[in-house]
Protein backbone atom coordinates (compact mmCIF):
# COMPACT_ATOMS: atom_id res chain seq x y z
CA UNK A 1 0.00 0.00 0.00
CA UNK A 2 1.29 3.43 -0.90
CA UNK A 3 0.01 6.65 0.69
CA UNK A 4 1.62 9.74 -0.86
CA UNK A 5 3.36 12.38 1.18
CA UNK A 6 1.50 15.61 1.75
CA UNK A 7 2.77 19.03 0.74
CA UNK A 8 1.01 21.04 3.45
CA UNK A 9 -1.17 19.71 6.25
CA UNK A 10 -1.13 17.43 9.25
CA UNK A 11 -0.15 13.90 10.11
CA UNK A 12 -1.85 12.66 13.28
CA UNK A 13 0.32 9.74 14.33
CA UNK A 14 0.56 7.23 17.17
CA UNK A 15 -3.21 6.84 17.38
CA UNK A 16 -4.25 3.72 19.28
CA UNK A 17 -5.67 1.20 16.81
CA UNK A 18 -9.40 1.75 16.42
CA UNK A 19 -9.39 5.39 17.54
CA UNK A 20 -8.70 7.03 14.15
CA UNK A 21 -12.33 6.74 13.07
CA UNK A 22 -13.45 8.43 16.32
CA UNK A 23 -11.05 11.32 15.68
CA UNK A 24 -12.15 11.47 12.02
CA UNK A 25 -15.78 11.82 13.08
CA UNK A 26 -15.15 14.22 15.96
CA UNK A 27 -13.13 16.57 13.74
CA UNK A 28 -15.75 16.28 10.94
CA UNK A 29 -13.01 15.44 8.44
CA UNK A 30 -15.61 14.07 6.02
CA UNK A 31 -16.72 17.66 5.36
CA UNK A 32 -13.31 18.81 4.09
CA UNK A 33 -12.55 19.56 0.43
CA UNK A 34 -8.95 18.36 0.76
CA UNK A 35 -7.52 14.85 0.75
CA UNK A 36 -7.76 12.90 3.99
CA UNK A 37 -6.11 9.49 4.44
CA UNK A 38 -7.24 7.22 7.25
CA UNK A 39 -4.74 4.43 7.84
CA UNK A 40 -5.69 1.71 10.30
CA UNK A 41 -3.60 -1.07 11.81
CA UNK A 42 -0.29 0.26 10.50
CA UNK A 43 2.78 -1.48 11.90
CA UNK A 44 4.30 0.14 14.97
CA UNK A 45 7.57 -0.77 16.68
CA UNK A 46 6.29 0.49 20.05
CA UNK A 47 2.73 -0.87 20.15
CA UNK A 48 2.49 -3.46 17.38
CA UNK A 49 -0.20 -1.55 15.45
CA UNK A 50 -1.39 2.05 15.26
CA UNK A 51 -3.70 4.28 13.25
CA UNK A 52 -2.63 7.37 11.29
CA UNK A 53 -4.61 10.25 9.78
CA UNK A 54 -3.16 12.48 7.05
CA UNK A 55 -4.90 15.76 6.23
CA UNK A 56 -3.79 17.48 3.03
CA UNK A 57 -4.48 21.05 4.13
CA UNK A 58 -3.50 23.36 6.99
CA UNK A 59 -6.98 23.70 8.44
CA UNK A 60 -7.98 24.78 11.94
CA UNK A 61 -7.77 21.67 14.17
CA UNK A 62 -9.03 21.36 17.75
CA UNK A 63 -6.14 19.56 19.46
CA UNK A 64 -8.23 19.07 22.62
CA UNK A 65 -10.60 16.81 20.70
CA UNK A 66 -7.71 14.65 19.52
CA UNK A 67 -6.12 14.59 22.98
CA UNK A 68 -9.44 13.70 24.61
CA UNK A 69 -9.81 10.60 22.44
CA UNK A 70 -6.13 9.67 22.26
CA UNK A 71 -3.83 11.63 24.61
CA UNK A 72 -0.69 9.80 23.42
CA UNK A 73 -1.16 10.82 19.78
CA UNK A 74 1.21 13.24 18.10
CA UNK A 75 0.33 15.90 15.56
CA UNK A 76 2.95 16.69 12.92
CA UNK A 77 2.55 19.97 11.05
CA UNK A 78 3.81 19.65 7.47
CA UNK A 79 4.82 22.50 5.16
CA UNK A 80 6.53 21.99 1.80
CA UNK A 81 6.64 18.24 2.47
CA UNK A 82 8.70 18.73 5.65
CA UNK A 83 7.63 18.38 9.28
CA UNK A 84 8.05 21.85 10.76
CA UNK A 85 6.56 21.10 14.17
CA UNK A 86 5.65 18.02 16.18
CA UNK A 87 3.06 18.45 18.95
CA UNK A 88 2.82 15.90 21.72
CA UNK A 89 -0.63 15.82 23.26
CA UNK A 90 -1.85 15.25 26.79
CA UNK A 91 -5.28 14.98 28.35
CA UNK A 92 -6.82 18.47 28.38
CA UNK A 93 -7.44 20.06 31.78
CA UNK A 94 -10.66 21.63 30.49
CA UNK A 95 -12.94 20.55 27.66
CA UNK A 96 -15.32 23.00 26.00
CA UNK A 97 -17.91 21.65 23.55
CA UNK A 98 -15.98 18.45 22.95
CA UNK A 99 -18.63 16.13 24.39
CA UNK A 100 -22.00 16.34 26.15
CA UNK A 101 -23.00 15.68 29.73
CA UNK A 102 -25.09 12.53 29.98
CA UNK A 103 -26.83 13.60 33.19
CA UNK A 104 -30.48 14.24 32.19
CA UNK A 105 -30.85 16.71 35.08
CA UNK A 106 -27.90 18.86 33.99
CA UNK A 107 -28.83 22.40 32.95
CA UNK A 108 -27.16 21.73 29.59
CA UNK A 109 -29.97 19.29 28.79
CA UNK A 110 -32.53 22.10 28.72
CA UNK A 111 -30.40 25.18 27.97
CA UNK A 112 -29.08 24.30 24.51
CA UNK A 113 -27.00 27.48 24.09
CA UNK A 114 -24.74 26.75 27.08
CA UNK A 115 -21.21 25.57 26.42
CA UNK A 116 -20.55 22.00 27.51
CA UNK A 117 -17.67 22.41 29.97
CA UNK A 118 -15.79 19.64 31.77
CA UNK A 119 -12.76 19.75 34.05
CA UNK A 120 -10.26 16.94 34.46
CA UNK A 121 -10.37 15.69 38.06
CA UNK A 122 -8.51 12.37 37.84
CA UNK A 123 -5.92 12.05 35.09
CA UNK A 124 -4.94 8.45 35.91
CA UNK A 125 -8.52 7.19 35.62
CA UNK A 126 -9.49 9.67 32.86
CA UNK A 127 -12.37 11.18 34.82
CA UNK A 128 -13.90 14.57 34.02
CA UNK A 129 -16.45 16.59 36.01
CA UNK A 130 -19.25 18.65 34.47
CA UNK A 131 -18.83 22.32 35.30
CA UNK A 132 -22.57 22.78 35.87
CA UNK A 133 -23.95 19.66 37.57
CA UNK A 134 -20.62 18.30 38.91
CA UNK A 135 -21.37 14.81 37.64
CA UNK A 136 -18.19 12.85 37.31
CA UNK A 137 -17.90 10.79 34.20
CA UNK A 138 -15.25 8.45 32.89
CA UNK A 139 -13.82 9.41 29.53
CA UNK A 140 -15.15 6.30 27.80
CA UNK A 141 -18.75 7.00 28.91
CA UNK A 142 -19.12 10.49 27.43
CA UNK A 143 -21.56 11.31 24.65
CA UNK A 144 -19.93 12.91 21.58
- Phi–psi pair at 31, nearest 5 degrees: -90, 0
Regarding whether 99 and 73 lie in a shared domain, the answer is no
pLDDT in tens, 24-72: 999 999 999 999 999 999 998 888 999 999 999 999 999 999 999 999 9
Q: Are residues 116 and 67 in the same domain?
A: no
Q: Collapsing DSSP states into helix, strand and coil, what is residue 44? A: strand
Cα 35 to Cα 144: distance, rounded to the nearest angstrom:
24
Q: Which residue, 88, 105, 129, sits at the end of a domain?
A: 88
Q: Which of 71, 88, 105 is the last residue of a domain?
A: 88
What is the number of structural domains in the chain?
A: 2
pTM of this prediction? 0.85
CATH code, domain with 103: 2.30.30.20
| Domain identity same for 20 and 34 | yes
Tens of pLDDT, residue by residue over 78-127, are 999 999 999 999 999 999 998 889 899 999 988 989 999 999 999 888 89
Amino acid sequence: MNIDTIKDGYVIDHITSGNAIKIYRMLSLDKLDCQVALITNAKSKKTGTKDIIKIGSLIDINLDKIAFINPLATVNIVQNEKIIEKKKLDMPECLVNVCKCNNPRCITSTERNLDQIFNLVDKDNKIYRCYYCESTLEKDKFIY
